[in-house]
């Protein structure tokens, strides 16, 4: 039987400080902290999806931003959780990355600036209204011809429950409405910290698959889109 949680009340700053992410869920470690870049982000790089000035939105502890900066990219990494940004700065010591604590549904201070956006599992954490505001905000923050690379929990059998997981048509509709033209939409796996989430996944009925490093993985949409 699936246990119900109020995902809209997730406290992201708290979990970076060792507190609860979702009340009653027992998650007190950062679930997405694999201490390395996401494999799907590496796949985006292999496809040549990063160019110009990059915005890593919802950067968390910064491992994807660190990966891109080490490849020579100019990266701005933002997150709404101040504790995440503080820890990311330490993790990225010596690298030239611009960090900021910012509301991803606004981004008015970045209008027309970026050539590429990376969203590694932010979109699905927002409610329906804020998802629309968010994809419109990143459109305003980008220059003509910009690219979006997005990973979102997929509402498919064995995945995370809705509303945390998103239906394909919802994702398509939100991006199109905001002015993004999808050029590729498929599925891949998102790696998480096994010890942080395995009990929670069992409670909600998700079916984790483990990668060669023993990390739990869950199905996500992998989206490539261009700024229309």
Evaluate whether residue 102 is within a structural domain: yes
End-to-end CA distance of the chain: 43
Residue 30 pLDDT exceeds 80: yes
Evaluate whether residue 27 is within a structural domain: no
Evaluate whether residue 153 is within a structural domain: yes
Instruction: Read off the pLDDT of residues 180-212 as tens digits, 9 standing for 90 and up.
Output: 999 999 999 999 999 988 988 888 888 889 999
Where residue 116 sits, what CATH number does that domain have? 3.40.50.150
Evaluate whether residue 26 is within a structural domain: no
> What confidence category does residue 4 fall into, taking pLDDT thresholds of 50, 70 and 90?
low
Residue 1 pLDDT exceeds 50: no
Evaluate whether residue 6 is within a structural domain: no
Range of the domain at 130: 32-191+204-227
220 neighbors 190 (Cβ within 8 angstroms): yes
Evaluate whether residue 52 is within a structural domain: yes
Evaluate whether residue 215 is within a structural domain: yes
Instruction: Read off the pLDDT of residues 104-134 as tens digits, 9 standing for 90 and up.
Output: 999 999 999 999 999 999 999 999 999 999 9
Give the span between the Cα atoms of 204 and 223, in whole angstroms: 25
Give the span between the Cα atoms of 24 and 7, in whole angstroms: 11
Q: What is the pLDDT of residue 2?
A: 46
- Provide the domain count of the chain: 1
Give the span between the Cα atoms of 34 and 42, in whole angstroms: 14
Evaluate whether residue 12 is within a structural domain: no
Q: What is the pLDDT of residue 3?
A: 53
């Amino acid at each position: 039987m699936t246990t119900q949680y109020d995902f809209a009340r997730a406290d992201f700053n708290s979990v970076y400080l060792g507190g609860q992410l979702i009340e009653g869920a027992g998650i007190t470690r950062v679930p997405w902290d694999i201490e390395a870049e996401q494999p799907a982000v590496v796949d985006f790089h292999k496809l040549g999806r990063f160019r110009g000035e990059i915005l890593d939105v919802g950067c968390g502890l910064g491992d994807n931003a660190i990966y891109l900066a080490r490849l020579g990219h100019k990266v701005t990494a933002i997150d709404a959780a101040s504790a995440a940004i503080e820890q990311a700065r330490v993790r990225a010591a010596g690298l030239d990355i611009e960090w900021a604590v910012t509301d991803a549904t606004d981004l008015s201070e970045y209008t027309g600036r970026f050539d590429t956006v990376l969203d590694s599992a932010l979109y699905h954490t927002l409610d329906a209204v804020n998802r629309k505001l968010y994809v419109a905000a990143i459109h305003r923050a980008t220059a003509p011809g910009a690219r979006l690379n997005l990973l979102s929990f997929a509402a498919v059998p064995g995945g995370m429950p809705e509303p945390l997981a998103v239906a394909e048509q919802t994702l398509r509709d939100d991006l199109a409405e905001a002015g993004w033209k999808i050029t590729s939409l498929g599925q891949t796996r998102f790696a998480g910290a096994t010890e942080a989430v395995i009990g929670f996944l069992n409670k909600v009925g998700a079916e984790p698959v483990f990668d060669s490093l023993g990390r739990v993985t869950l199905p996500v949409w992998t989206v490539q889109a261009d700024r229309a």
